[in-house]
Amino acid sequence: MMWLSSFCLEGIAGETMPIEFELASALKRLDAQTVPIAAICAATVAIARLGLLRGRQHTSNGLKYLQLHVPEYHEAQNYVEAPAVRDRGLITASGIADIEFARELFEELGVLSPNDRAVWVDIFRNAQLPDETRASPGFPSSFPASLVRFASSRSRTPAALFCNDSGGSAPSR
């Protein structure tokens, strides 16, 4: 059975409130089962509090941001100044790196070819369709089909942890 778990942490609440037991248990269980986990913005605080960053390269809204919100954080040697970082099934990103975050998700899940992922990033970063010579034949119309092929080939999908400062909600399962 395929499923997608997504949890929503509202901006400041995600930085200051305790992590609910159910969320903590689910994330630890998913990590132990090597289900990819993705966290962006304040969600990186939650996974830092749970110890999921331990021994993995990661990023967030800044090293000082993690140190401020997670006093028990001692992974500065693994912190990478980058918009998004992927290490052994864990994807982390700054709150302003939504496109890079998605690119890392695509790569982790094997969605699109490396070239098409780069073209996809260019499309959304620059708000322009690509030069036809850069994309693979059928791109972007092949994009939905590649997702369908991916979904039908996997028994598990990643858990995603989102920060949502707009007051909206994260995707539901």
In percent, the amount of the chain with pLDDT more than 90 equals 44
Pick from 83-87, 102-106, 110-114 the range whose average pLDDT is largest.
83-87
Pick from 37-51, 129-143, 149-163 the range whose average pLDDT is largest.
37-51
- Summarised one tens digit per residue, pLDDT across range 105-123 is 999 988 888 888 888 888 8
Of the residues 27, 38, 41, 111, only one is catalytic, namely: 41
What pLDDT, on the 0 to 100 scale, is given for residue 138?
A: 62
* Choice between 75 and 147, residue whose per-residue pLDDT is larger: 75
Question: Is pLDDT at 11 greater than 70 in this prediction?
Answer: no
Question: Is pLDDT at 21 greater than 80 in this prediction?
Answer: yes
What pLDDT, on the 0 to 100 scale, is given for residue 51?
A: 96
Cα–Cα distance list, 151 to 4, 123, 127 (Å): 11, 23, 27
121: exposed, middle or buried (Cβ count in 10 Å: 0-12, 13-18, 19+): middle
Of 34-38, 119-123, 125-129, 155-159, the least confident:
155-159
Instruction: Identify whether 163 is a catalytic site residue.
Output: no
Average pLDDT over residues 146-164: 50
pLDDT band at 2 (very low <50, low <70, confident <90, very high): very low
**Site of tokens 């395929």:** 2
How much is the pTM?
A: 0.75
What pLDDT, on the 0 to 100 scale, is given for residue 122?
A: 84
Alpha helices in the chain (DSSP H): 11-16, 21-32, 43-49, 63-69, 98-109, 114-126, 142-153
